[in-house]
Structure 1
Amino acid sequence: AARLCAINIISQARAACGGDLERVVRIVKLGAFINCVDGFPSQPAIVNGASDLMVAVFGEAGKHSRSAVGTNALPLNVPVEIDALIEIS
């Protein structure tokens, strides 16, 4: 689910860049929310799917800071929600 969120983020970045992903200077930050039960300790491992894809697509520019927060509810009961801050030229 986190990887799919990252694919959607990349798609939105591409649209914001007029179709040219070369305009992405860097991925600054990902903020992730994981729909989970109390006591679930593996939020960071889930977000790795998104982080790894950013590095695979953008190389060094894909390395970013991030947060991974567990919550007991997300809109439409989605498993993962991720927002991104991306620097573009």
Structure 2
Amino acid sequence: MKKVFKITAPEGLHARPCTLLVTAVTPFSSDVQLIYNDKSVNLKSIMGVMAQGISTGSVVTISASGVDEEALISKVTEVITSEGLGVEC
């Protein structure tokens, strides 16, 4: 299951937004990846996500696979939209 987002936060995905996302997905058992510029990192890894250097206007894909993938994608969507980090594409 995949969903695409455009990052709208003025500072991009820096430490605070990355922490929010990693914290949101950690309780889920599904594998979850953040894909940006053809590079995929584990969304449960704060260092991996921050190393992507995702700036405002970037388009990222969140990909989840596992027993609770739908709930995981729903949670990611909720965090990204409610925290003003981005919008669904």
TM-score range, shorter chain: 0.3 to 0.5
Larger Rg: 1
TM-score between both structures, scaled by the size of structure 1: 0.34
TM-score normalised by length of structure 2: 0.34
Q: Would you tell me which structure has more helix in proportion to its own residues?
A: 1
